[in-house]
Amino acid sequence: MATGRTHRPATRSRGIPEATVARLPLYLRALTALSERSVPTVSSEELAAAAGVNSAKLRKDFSYLGSYGTRGVGYDVEYLVYQISRELGLTQDWPIVMVGIGNLGAALANYGGFASRGFRVAALIDADPSMVGKPVAGIPVQYIDDLERIIEENGVSIGVIATPAGAAQQVCDRLVAAGVSSILNFAPTVLSVPDGVDVRKVDLSIELQILAFHEQRKAGEDGAVGEAGLPSAAAVRAAAPATAPAATAGRKGPDGDVPAVMPA
Ligand SMILES: NC(=O)c1ccc[n+]([C@@H]2O[C@H](COP(=O)([O-])OP(=O)(O)OC[C@H]3O[C@@H](n4cnc5c(N)ncnc54)[C@H](O)[C@@H]3O)[C@@H](O)[C@H]2O)c1
């Protein structure tokens, strides 16, 4: 779901490739479900299917962790949970701050899945003075002017941005200047950060656009496809009234950003 933009090389410390790092949370989620059902061991095929990953890739990924399983028995579920958690840095507490406590920020703050995975919401911050002091998920919202103090007092290194796009870069700059070195960005904008700062971007509308692309392809397979797999001119003309006005009129989204127009 997330598209990453990091300033890290393709391999991390101890030579674990970024692609493997990106799959570790998938294994962990599947393993945690097995652990909750008290399943003691799991084969690479079963775990790969539960994680939605190819089993050869899984074995290769686990070899980076020094985990090879036992022939005929499989992998020890509890030990793998521990190993992957340790590799991901989840055996320690990570206080996070969330900036922008509107619809999305409040929903994220109320999501119990962060705390259960070791991400404690240390503070909620917003620029709307009328929100200050009001509890969201039991945590009182604090004013943006106090951002630097809050980060220092809580030893925060991970910030979550859920502000409108127009405010995100400024918020990002303040977070970074205050010492935050990892940012999860929900605002639909590309953030500039200095070397050493990691940004992960989550954009559900991009996921929907990718699904729309595949839906369109499937529909194309049913007939409306011209030469070289491209939509026929008739299909483009038929689609034009639905997309052209929004694009040409430059209609703004709620953040002032222009809604993405599907590529041709
Ligand atoms: N990534 C996704 O899939 C996804 C999904 C939904 C929304 N969004 C994005 O998330 C953001 C928030 O959406 P929303 O629906 O919660 O909007 P919202 O208007 O309900 O909330 C935005 C909040 O940010 C606060 N804010 C504005 N400027 C600020 C600043 N400089 N510092 C601190 N706080 C500030 C506002 O006071 C408000 O409380 C938007 O950018 C939206 O496009 C992303």
The per-residue pLDDT for range 201-257, each reduced to its tens digit, is: 999 999 999 999 999 998 887 765 554 555 556 655 555 544 333 333 333 333 333
CATH architecture for the domain at 2-87: Orthogonal Bundle (1.10)
Point out the annotated binding site: 100-105
- Ligand 1 centre to CA of 126 (Å) is 10
Residue 100 alpha carbon, nearest atom of ligand 1: 24
User: Residue range 32-36: average pLDDT?
Assistant: 95
Buried b (16+ CB within 10 A) or exposed e, 160-191: bbbbbbebbbebbebbbebebebbbbbbbbeb
DSSP assignments along 127-152, one per residue: S-GGGTT-EETTEEEEEGGGHHHHHH
Sign of CA dihedral 75, 16, 200, 116: positive
Q: Looking up tokens 């090879």, which residue turns up?
A: 68
Express as a percent the part of the chain with pLDDT over 70.
Answer: 79
Does residue 61 have its Cβ closer than 6 Å to ligand 1? no
Helix ranges (H only) for the chain are 18-36, 44-51, 55-64, 77-87, 103-110, 113-116, 147-154, 165-177, 204-219, 233-248
Position 250 scores a pLDDT of: 33
Position 224 scores a pLDDT of: 53
- Return the CATH superfamily for domain 94-202: NAD(P)-binding Rossmann-like Domain (3.40.50.720)
- Ligand 1 centre to CA of 110 (Å) is 15
Tokens of 254: 């709620």
Domain spans in the chain, listed from the N-terminal domain onward: 2-87, 94-202, 205-248
> DSSP letter at 100?
-
- Ligand 1 centre to CA of 190 (Å) is 15
Does residue 167 have its Cβ closer than 6 Å to ligand 1? yes
Does residue 207 have its Cβ closer than 6 Å to ligand 1? no
- Ligand 1 pocket mutation pick from 161, 186, 189 by most atoms within 8 angstroms of CB: 186
* pLDDT above 80: residue 94: yes
Distance CA 20, CA 54 (A): 12
- Ligand 1 pocket mutation pick from 3, 108, 125, 126 by most atoms within 8 angstroms of CB: 126
Which of 93, 135, 98 has the alpha carbon at shortest distance from 115?
Answer: 93
ipTM over 0.85: yes
pTM score of the predicted model: 0.76
Distance CA 82, CA 90 (A): 9
Does residue 186 have its Cβ closer than 6 Å to ligand 1? yes
Distance CA 28, CA 74 (A): 16
* 158 contacts 184 by C-beta, under 8 angstroms: yes
pLDDT in tens, 135-185: 999 999 999 999 999 999 999 999 999 999 999 999 999 999 999 999 999
* pLDDT above 90: residue 1: no
